[in-house]
Amino acid sequence: MTSINPTLHIVGAGAIGSLLAAGAQRQHLAYQRYPRTMANIPHYARWLDNSKVPLSMQTAQANVLAKNDVLVLPLKVYQLESALSYWRPYLVHSPALVLLHNGMGGWEIAQQILGPHYPLLLATTSHGAFKQIDDKGKAFITYSGQGSTQIGAPNKGNRLSPLLSDAINLLHNAFPPVSTPDNIVHALWQKLSVNMVINPLTALNHIQNKHILDSQFSDVRRALCKEFVDVANACGLVFNETKVHEHVLAVAKATGENYSSMHQDVLHGRPTEIDAINGYIVEMAKKKGIHVPVNTLMVERIKALNL
């Protein structure tokens, strides 16, 4: 079953998912939103030029998706298992599925629930957005920084099926630019290298991203980067310790005024993604017999905040 015009089905009502919905709205593309709750669902997005993009408040009920539709899950990794289990009965025509989250482990969860051959795309984005409440009590999204999205099929390189290529084109039309690196897994590990430094340090020290550039964090930054490279290279990827550290510094500087997602989660008493970030490095290190004491400490200290 295919539809005349493919629809973007966006699960959740977080900042990035709502930003994608606003992009589809701006480009007059069909989209549906599936928030977990109507509480604090964004009513509109405030764009970079300060214009307001109204969002459809007609939330949908899950139904069988057409083959050329695209299901996007911009969720936390710890939310994926329940979300994928819920959606599995509606994926009988195998429409493209896009996982868009911080950290790692989502691919493995999707394989367990949908099988190893499901048409799956992994994505990472550097667009910035955050949720706010206006003076009328309505939630909205502020588009805070233009970035780009990288997307690809794990273990497929650039050999994308027509179905997945069409899904990527739809996402590009909704929210450009979207690029397809030769190795999306390497790109996700590179994103992990940034998150595993910025997220825990900003959350533990209650600071904006720019402050991890301070000399007091030099030793822990470098130790985290060394452990990351040891584990990544043992997993068959190729990273250079100096370049990883320089990239972390560059991102922290470019996003200096931002507060990391983990900082915000800790501030608001929400579960963090530490298991999918530093915890993932610890998990992979155990499999490879590598000692990663600093990443282990980050996991322990962040989890202690939630006690």
Cα–Cα distance for residue pair 174/205, rounded to 1 Å: 37
**Are the CB atoms for 171 and 151 separated by under 8 Å?**
yes
Q: Are strands 178-179 and 149-152 parallel, antiparallel or unpaired?
A: parallel
CATH: 3.10.105.10, 1.10.1040.10, 3.40.720.10, 3.40.50.2300. Which one for 186-305? 1.10.1040.10
In angstroms and rounded to an integer, the radius of gyration of the C-alpha atoms of the chain is 19
pLDDT of residue 58: 82
Q: Where in the chain is the domain with CATH 1.10.1040.10?
A: 186-305
CATH: 3.40.190.290, 3.40.190.10, 3.60.40.10, 3.40.50.720. Which one for 8-182? 3.40.50.720
Give the three-class secondary structure for 240: coil
Residue written as token pair 């949720």: 131
Q: Where in the chain is the domain with CATH 3.40.50.720?
A: 8-182
pLDDT of residue 179: 95
Integer CA distances (angstroms), 259 to 129, 213, 263, 268, 302, in order: 11, 14, 6, 13, 16
The predicted model scores a pTM of 0.92
pLDDT of residue 64: 95
pLDDT of residue 66: 96
Q: State which residues of the chain have pLDDT below 70.
A: 1-3, 155-159, 307
